[in-house]
Amino acid sequence: MVTLKKKAKIIIAAALFVGVAAAGYLIEKFEKDAFVVETVAQDDAVSYVSEGNAEEEGKININAAGVTELVKLDGIGEALSERIINYREENGPFVTVEEIMKVPGISESKFEAIKDHICAK
């Protein structure tokens, strides 16, 4: 039988305590990560179902698009893209795509050219 001195017992007890604490921390961290991954997957699924309208796939969302996306539209340059972004920041999101004509510089003819390529989710 091995007999340990008081100092050795304290060191072993401290090591066990640290090991158990570390294991508890790791378990908690991995459980949180698993929960976050599961939650994101569920949120994506809900988002996909609620916004997965086939008619709007491939269209540029005028409520979320940045300058880089908006300039891809016919007749929309960088300056007009910035006006669109400024308009929605000042007035809130576009409810319909037709509301984009309220942006200075978007005429009815310009709207007709882009209406099939935009959406207002």
Q: Round to whole Å and give the CA distance between 3 and 12.
A: 13
Mean pLDDT of 70-79: 94
In a domain, 21, yes or no: yes
End-to-end Cα spacing for the chain: 75
pLDDT per residue as tens digits for the range 27-64: 666 665 555 555 444 444 444 333 444 446 789 999 99
Residue 105 falls within a domain, yes or no? yes
Q: Would 48 be classed as within a structural domain?
A: yes
Do 40 and 65 have their domain in common?
no
Q: Does residue 84 share a domain with residue 59?
A: yes
User: Residue 80 is part of which domain span?
Assistant: 55-119
Could you tell me the sign of the dihedral formed by the alpha carbons of 87, 89, 95, 96, in that order? positive
Look up the CATH number of the domain holding residue 93: 1.10.150.320
* Same domain (yes/no): 72, 48: no
User: What span, in angstroms and rounded, lies between the C-alpha atoms of 46 and 43?
Assistant: 5
In a domain, 1, yes or no: no
**10 pLDDT higher than 80:** yes
Q: pLDDT at position 33, please?
A: 55
